């Protein structure tokens, strides 16, 4: 069963490719290569977590995917950020300040 996130990501990629083909921004061959790459990179049984890990590298080879990747990446980062804040708040309430501090640093450096 394909996840909702994967479904919408694929749909956006498909729409992007068709738009670019329509406006002659890319060639049929290029669209084909991107499609084949997406099919291969994103198996149908991918979990959201796996998708989140793959997503940042999706536009490495095909810059055309950058805009979609960025949007989805931001969503993931925002979600991670919210999770982190919630987790950090819990730690702070438990007076585990060092642990909360390290977690925030990890997030900060990873983001950079």
Among positions 44-73, residues that touch another protein (CB under 8 A) are 44
Query: Closest approach of Cβ 53 to another protein, in Å?
Result: 20
Nearer to another protein, 9 or 91 (CB): 9
Which of residues 39, 66, 92, 97 is near another protein by CB under 8 A? 39
**Could you tell me the two tokens for 64?**
């055309």
85 binds another protein (CB under 8 A): no
Contacts with 37 (C-beta within 8 Å, 6 or more apart), sequence order: 61, 62
Nearest to 46 by CA among 3, 96, 110: 3
Distance CA 21, CA 78 (A): 32
Site string for another protein, 9-28 (x = CB under 8 A): -xx-xxx-xx--xx-x---x
Nearest to 88 by CA among 76, 72, 104: 104
104 binds another protein (CB under 8 A): no
């Amino acid at each position: 069963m394909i996840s909702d996130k994967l479904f919408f990501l694929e749909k956006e990629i498909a729409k992007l490719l068709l738009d670019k083909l329509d406006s002659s921004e890319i060639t049929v061959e290029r669209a084909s290569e991107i499609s084949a790459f997406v099919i291969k990179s994103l198996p149908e049984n991918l979990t959201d977590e796996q998708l989140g890990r793959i997503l940042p590298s999706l536009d490495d080879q095909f810059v055309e995917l950058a805009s979609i990747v960025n949007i989805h990446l931001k969503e993931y980062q925002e979600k991670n950020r919210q999770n982190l804040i919630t987790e950090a708040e819990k730690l702070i309430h438990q007076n585990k300040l060092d642990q909360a501090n390290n977690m925030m640093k990890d997030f900060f450096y990873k983001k950079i």
